[in-house]
Structure 1
Amino acid sequence: MAKTKIIQMSDGYLNRTPILQFILLSTLFSMWAVAASLNDILITQFKSVFELSDFASALVQSAFYGGYFLVAIPASMVIKKTNYKIAIITGLCFYIVGCSLFFPASHLATYTMFLFALFAIAIGLGFLETAANTYSSMIGPKQYSTLRLNISQTFYPVGSILGILLGKYLVFQEGESLHVQMSKMSPADAQAFGIEMLQHTLEPYKYMIFILVGVLVLFLVTKFPTCKPEESIKDSTKRSPNGLKALKYLAGNKRFRNGIIAQFLYVGMQTTVWAFTIRLALHLNPNINERTASNFMIYSFIGFFIGKFIANFLLARFSSSKILVVYSVIGSVLLAYVALVPNMTAVYAAIIVSMLFGPCWATIFAETLAVVDKKYTETAGAILVMSIVGGAVIPALQGLVSDSVGSMQYAFVVSMLCFVYIGVHFFKEMKRNAKMKKVSEQTGENIA
C-alpha cells in the first residue's frame, strides 16, 4: 500500500510527519544539550587552572546564555525571511566555528578566549533552539504538535549525559583532584601543569566538530518541508505591524510579566544547580577527584530524564499549576537542605532537585503564553525564549554570594529563592484559575 503523500496545510502543519526529517530534527536537541553539560565540566576545570573566584568561574554560563539572549530575535527574523532549514544550517555553522575556536583558546590559555569560543557556540545554539522547538511542533499534524515536541525534548537529557561522559573521560584525569595536585607544586610548575590540563578541554570539541559536520551534511542534502503558514509566506517581505503596540501590551500584562520572571528564574536555577553540583561534591568529599565527582552529574541528568516521564504522567491527570506549586515546595525544601547540611547527602538532594526540573520549562512557557491575546503570541513567544538569559545571571549571582559569604554551599540559597518565587507565582495562578472556574460555573460563561 502506497504511503500518503505529505501535504502542507494552509496553517503550516503537515498531514503526516516525515520520519527521517523528524529524527534529524530531534537529534539537534541532543547537540545543544552536549554543549550545555560540557559547561559544567569547564567551570570545574577553569576554577582550578585559572584560580578563579566562584563569580568569575560562573561567567562561563554568562557567556553561554548571553549569546542565546542576543541571538533570539535575529534568529526569528532569519526564520521569517527564509525558512527553518536555513536557520538550522546557520546555527550548525556557528556551532562548528565555536568548537574550532577551542584550538586557539587551548594554546593561548586565556580565560577570555575560552569565553569567546563559548559565546560563538551559544550563537549557533540560539539559532538551533529558536528554530528546532517550533519546527518540531509544526512538522506533522497539528493535533500531535505537543507530543512531537515532547518526543524531541527527550533527546535533551541523552545529550546531557553524553556531554558529561565526554568531559569525564577526555577533560578530567585520574589521580587527586586538580586543585590538590596544583597546591603541592611551585607557582611555575603549577602554571605549566595548568596549561597542560587546558589542552584536555579541546578533546570533546574535536569529536563534536566531526559529529556536527556530519549532521550539517545531512541537513544540506535532505529536503525539508517549509512548515510556514501561507499568510506568513505572503507577508514575509512586509514589515511586522504593531511591534511597539505588542510590546506595550505585553509590558502592561501583569500575569505575562510574572511568567517571564518565573521562566528567567527557572532557567537560571537549573543552570546554577547543575553548574555547582560537581564542585559541591568536591567540596564535601575532598577525597574524590573531578572524574569521580562528574558521576553525580550523570545521575542528575538521568534523574532529569526520569522526571520528564513522571511529569508527563502527572500533567495528564492534574492541573499544571498545582503540580508546579507542589514541585516548588519540595524543591525549595531540598535546596535548603543542600545549602545547610554539610555532608554528601546534600549532593543527593541536588540530584533529586534535577528530577523536579522535568515539567518546569514547558509548563511555564505554555501557561505564560496562554495569558496573552492571540494576536501578540509571536512577540510573546520570542520574549519567552529570551528569558533564557537567566542562565547568564543567576549562576553569576550565586557565585558572587559564594565569594561574599565564603561558602559555596550556603550560596545555594540563591537557587532556593528562585524555586520559592516559581511556587508563589503558580499558587497565585492556581487560586485565580479556581476563582474563574467558580465564576464560570455560576454564570454559565466560559471565562479565560
Structure 2
Amino acid sequence: MHFEDATTVAPTPNSLVRTAILPLVLIVSLFFLWGMANNLNDILIKQFKKAFELSDFQAGLVQSAFYLGYFVFAIPAGMFMRRYSYKAAIILGLLLYATGAFLFYPAAQAHTYNLFLLALFVIASGLAFLETTANPLVTVLGPAEGAARRLNLAQAFNPLGSITGILIGQHFIFSGVEHTATDLAAMSPAARQAFYAAESSAVQTPYLVIGGIVVLWALLIALTRFPATSSAAEPAGQGHGIFGRLLRKRRFVLAIVAQFFYVGAQVGIWSFLIRYIQDGLPGTPEKSAAVYLTVSLVLFMVGRFVGTALLRYLPPARLLGIFALINLALCSIAVATPHSIGVYALVASSLFMSVMFPTIFALGLEGLGDDERKLGSSLIVMSIIGGAILTALMGAVSDQAGIHWAMAVPALCFAVILWFAFTASATQAAPVAGRA
C-alpha cells in the first residue's frame, strides 16, 4: 500500500515544488524534531553522569546506544521506504520516536541507566526512518545540480531543533545542584539516593511532552496528501543488486566513510563541550556551560544559511574542504590550549561544521537513480554509527589523558573529511550563480 497519492506518471520536480507546499513544510519540520532529540543527548550525558556517578566513558554510552539505533535500523528504513513510500516511513519513524520518549518515564521510575539507554535506542530507531526518508526526498524536489543547496537549506532548520533541545535541558532538566564527591560522601545513604532519584526523574516531564507532540505530528502527516515522487518502485527482490551497484561507486563509498567521521566529530564535540568547559574554566556552573553549547548551535544554524549562500559560487566539495581545514586547525587549538582559547575554538568549530552533513550526503547521492538514492540514503545514515564509536573513544581518551586530549579525535575526523573533499572536488564542476 502506498501512502502517496496514486498517479500513473511521476510529477516533474517543478510541479512537486508548486503542488506540495504543506508536505514540504512537514518534511522540513522533521529536521527540527530530530535536531531536538540529538542535542538533548548532550544534556543527558551531563545529567546521567550526575544521577548515576558515571565515568566519561560510561556517560558517552548515551551516544553509543543512540547511534547504534541509527546503524541497526537504517537499512530496514531504506527498504521499508522503497517497498511502501516516503510517507509511510515518516509515520513509522515518528511513532518509534514517540515510543522511546515515553519509555523515559518508567526508566526514571526504576532509576536504571540501562533502561534509559534502551529508550534512547528506540528513539534513534525512529530517527533512522526520518533521516533516511527526509534527506533523499529533499534532494529530488528540484533540479539535480541544486540538490546540495536545497539539502543545506532544509538542514538549516535542524539547528533550531538543536537549540530548542539545549534550552529544554538547561531550563527543565538541569537542576543547578552540583555536589562534589566530598559532599556526596558526607550525605547519609538515604539523602544521597534521594538526590540521585531526583536528578533521574527530572527527564520525565520533558520527554512525555515531546512524545505527545511527536504523536500529534504523526497524525498530521497521516492526514496530509503527499504527491508521488517517482514511478512505481522496482520489485523488492532487486534490492541486493542495487546495493551491489552502490558499493561499486567510489564517491558513494567515500561519502559513507566521510559521514562516519563527520558525525563522530560533531557528536563528540557537542557531547563533551560542557565537560571541556567545566574542566578548562573551573567553577563554571552547568547551566552557564550550557549557554556556550547554545551559542555553538546558533553559530551552526548561521553557518547553514551562510553555507547555502556560498554554494551559489563555490562547488560543494571545495566549500567542504575549506571548512574541514579550518576545523582541523580549531580542534588542534582546543587540544593545545585547554582554557578559554580552547573553549572559543570549539564553539567556533560549529560554524564550520554546519555544511558538512548535508554536503557529504548530497555528494554521495549525486547521479544516483531513484531506487539507488533510497537505498543509498540508508547506507549513508548507517554511517551515523560514528557518533557512537568515536564519542565512546573520546570518553576513553578523556578518562586516561584528560578531556582536552579527547579533542584530538575530532581533529583526525576533520582530516578525513578534508581528504574526501579533495577527492570529490576532482570530479565536480563549479556551480552557476543563481541556479537553485
Task: Compute the TM-score of the two structures, normalised by the length of structure 2.
Answer: 0.88
- The one of 65, 68, 80 equivalent to 2:67 is 65
Structure 1 unaligned regions, length at least 5: 1-5, 438-448
One-letter identity of the residue aligned with 1:118: L
Q: Is the 8 A contact 2:139 2:362 kept in 1?
A: no
* Equivalence for 2:236: 239
1:398 counterpart = 2:400: no
Deviations 1:136-177 (A, max 9, x none): 445678787666544432221111011000000111123546
One-letter identity of the residue aligned with 1:27: S
- The one of 308, 327, 330 equivalent to 1:331 is 327
Q: CA deviation at 1:133?
A: 2.2
1:411 counterpart = 2:402: no
| Separation in 2, partners of 1:245, 1:135 | 22
Higher RCO (C-alpha 8 Å, min separation 6): 2
| % same residue | 38
Q: CA deviation at 1:269?
A: 0.6
- The one of 412, 419, 422 equivalent to 2:417 is 422
* Equivalence for 2:288: 292
Which range is displaced more, 115-124 or 151-160? 151-160
Q: CA deviation at 1:66?
A: 0.8
Q: CA deviation at 1:224?
A: 2.4
One-letter identity of the residue aligned with 1:329: L
| Separation in 1, partners of 2:176, 2:67 | 31
- Two-structure CA RMSD over aligned residues (Å): 2.8
Q: Is the 8 A contact 1:95 1:121 kept in 2?
A: yes
| Separation in 2, partners of 1:275, 1:181 | 26
| Separation in 2, partners of 1:74, 1:265 | 22
| Separation in 2, partners of 1:318, 1:138 | 21
- The one of 42, 45, 48 equivalent to 2:44 is 42
* Equivalence for 2:10: 10
Q: Secondary structure at the match of 2:237?
A: coil
* Equivalence for 2:256: 260
1:365 counterpart = 2:358: no
| Separation in 2, partners of 1:307, 1:166 | 23
Q: How many residues align?
A: 423
One-letter identity of the residue aligned with 1:396: A
* Equivalence for 2:298: 302
One-letter identity of the residue aligned with 2:403: M
| Separation in 2, partners of 1:12, 1:74 | 28
Call closer, same or farther: CA 1:171–1:178 in 2, change over 3 Å.
farther
* Equivalence for 2:384: 388
Q: CA deviation at 1:368?
A: 2.9
| Separation in 2, partners of 1:200, 1:363 | 37
Q: Is the 8 A contact 1:49 1:195 kept in 2?
A: yes
Q: CA deviation at 1:282?
A: 1.4
| Separation in 2, partners of 1:246, 1:27 | 30
1:93-242 alignment, distance < 5 Å: 93-138=95-140, 148-176=150-178, 182=184, 185-186=187-188, 188-225=190-227, 227-232=228-233, 235=234, 238-241=235-238
| Separation in 2, partners of 1:17, 1:8 | 16
Deviations 1:260-285 (A, max 9, x none): 21111001111111111111111122
Q: Is the 8 A contact 1:304 1:356 kept in 2?
A: yes
One-letter identity of the residue aligned with 1:78: F
Which range is displaced more, 97-106 or 16-25? 16-25
| Separation in 2, partners of 1:198, 1:89 | 30
One-letter identity of the residue aligned with 1:423: L
